[in-house]
Amino acid sequence: MADILAENLTIEFPVYETSKRSFKRALVKAATGGMLAVDNSQHVTVRALNGLNFHFCDGDRVGLLGHNGSGKSTLLRVLAGAYEPISGKITVQGRVASMLNVWLGMIIDATGRDNIYLRCAVMGMRPREIDRVVDDIIEFSELGDYIHMPLRTYSSGMQMRLAFSIATSVAADIVLMDEWLSAGDAAFTSKAQARLSTLLDRAGIFVVASHSEDLIRATCNKMMRLDHGNLVELVDLKATM
């Protein structure tokens, strides 16, 4: 059962190169991003998330909305386990598939097949699990004999097909996505969207960050609006229909 619970979730990043003397100047220049402050050691910090409280349950499709620097990507990385809160608590139950960077772990001089194992390992899959999906990934990517060639010999469309095929191969309870994932290649798009829809249908919880409120309203049942790390509103879209 997928479940995500945040209690007073707070994330801060220190800005070591900014001195106390330049704090006011940095504050004036800050048009977007988290809130600037000075900690007890007189270091400037950026509070990327400020005391967030929310609960996502099995079946929730959540869209994160806000300007650049509002905290959307930071929240996704917290859910993926990349950041730890400085205060508060985040509890995530279920296997997480993070599609925040579909290229993470891939090596340009390694073959397509080797990159399948590398990328799947980064995604948390065990060798036996990868063995079970490798043939499906190769078939879906439509790369043929190129799968045995180095990634640097691929066109950009071929690289994207491989990355997409790998990223959507893992079954997960929670799927995280920063902007809607695209396969890049127009001829590949139709079956790619069908595969992505199947993955999301099987997931317990889906969280996507987007600048498009129309996309969120079309694909999600909840919308979280963030501004400078603050939770402005959490809307039940079904209740507003």
Does domain 99-207 correspond to CATH entry 3.40.50.2300?
no
Local confidence pLDDT in tens for the 241 residues of the chain: 899 999 999 999 887 665 555 555 554 444 445 555 555 555 677 889 999 999 999 999 999 999 998 999 999 999 999 999 999 999 999 989 888 888 888 999 999 999 999 999 988 889 999 999 999 999 999 999 999 999 999 998 899 899 999 989 888 899 999 888 776 667 788 888 888 888 888 999 999 999 999 989 988 999 999 999 999 999 999 876 5
In order of 1, 84, 202, 210, the CA distances from 59 in angstroms are 10, 25, 10, 19
pTM for this model (two decimals): 0.81
Architecture of domain 3-94+209-236: 3-Layer(aba) Sandwich (3.40)
> In 3D, which of 171, 157, 154 has the Cα closest to residue 113?
154
Whether 3-94+209-236 and 99-207 share one fold: the answer is yes
Other Cβ atoms closer than 10 A to 195: 16
Q: Where are the domains of the chain?
A: 3-94+209-236, 99-207
- Rg of the chain over CA atoms, in angstroms? 20
Phi then psi for residue 170, to 5 deg, are -95, 130
Other Cβ atoms closer than 10 A to 97: 23
Beta-carbon contacts of 160 under 8 Å, excluding residues fewer than 6 positions away, are 182, 183, 184, 185
Beta-carbon contacts of 18 under 8 Å, excluding residues fewer than 6 positions away, are 26, 43, 44
In order of 21, 34, 88, the CA distances from 13 in angstroms are 19, 9, 15
Strand partners, 9: 52
